[in-house]
Structures are given as C-alpha cells and as structure tokens.
Amino acid sequence: MTVTLNTDDPPHFATTLGTEYALARHVFGFSDEDLLATTRTALNAAFLDDQTRAGLLDQVQPPRSSTVRRDCGESDAAPAAARAER
C-alpha cells in the first residue's frame, strides 16, 4: 500500500505538513524510518522532473540519531518534503 502525508488544502483544514508528521508519529506510532519512507514515497509520487526528484531524495537520509524537533513536531525527514510541496 502506498502511503503519503500531505496537507491537501492547508487553509481549509487548518493544518501544516509538520502537524501531519507529528500526528503520524504521536497518534499512529510512525518511527523515524516510517516517516522517512513516507517522505520518499511522496517524492517518488510527486509531479517533479527527474533532476528535482533526485536532488530532494538525496536530502532525505536516515537521521544520524533519533532526533525529533519537538518545537514543531517534525522528524528530520519532514523539512525536505515540506520544501518540495511549497
């Protein structure tokens, strides 16, 4: 099953990509690796040219430690995906 996290329509649903990642972690128990895999899946499914996709995928690497940015609820993987959606 292919799973991605996205915001769909942030103003309408009052959410952010960071919030969606935090919910995946805290409500559904996603690990850092789960979030990274989800981010890679989203990048592979995105309407991007090959060069942009490859560059973004290069940025989505396993964290050196299991560090979670508690200030915004994002894993180390989320910022690259968030930049890709902007």
Would the pTM of this model clear 0.75, i.e. be above it?
A: no
18 domain residue, yes or no? yes
67 domain residue, yes or no? yes
For 8, the token pair is 């769909």
3 domain residue, yes or no? no
Domain assignment of residue 27, given as a range: 10-85
pLDDT score recorded for residue 82? 47
1 domain residue, yes or no? no
Q: Which residues of 65-81 are buried (b: 16+ CB within 10 A; e: fewer)?
A: eeebeeeebbbbbbbbb
70 domain residue, yes or no? yes
2 domain residue, yes or no? no
Q: Tell me the per-residue pLDDT of 12-60, one tens digit each, with 9 for 90 and over.
A: 888 999 999 999 999 999 999 999 999 999 999 999 999 999 999 999 9
4 domain residue, yes or no? no
- How many folded domains does the chain comprise? 1
65 domain residue, yes or no? yes
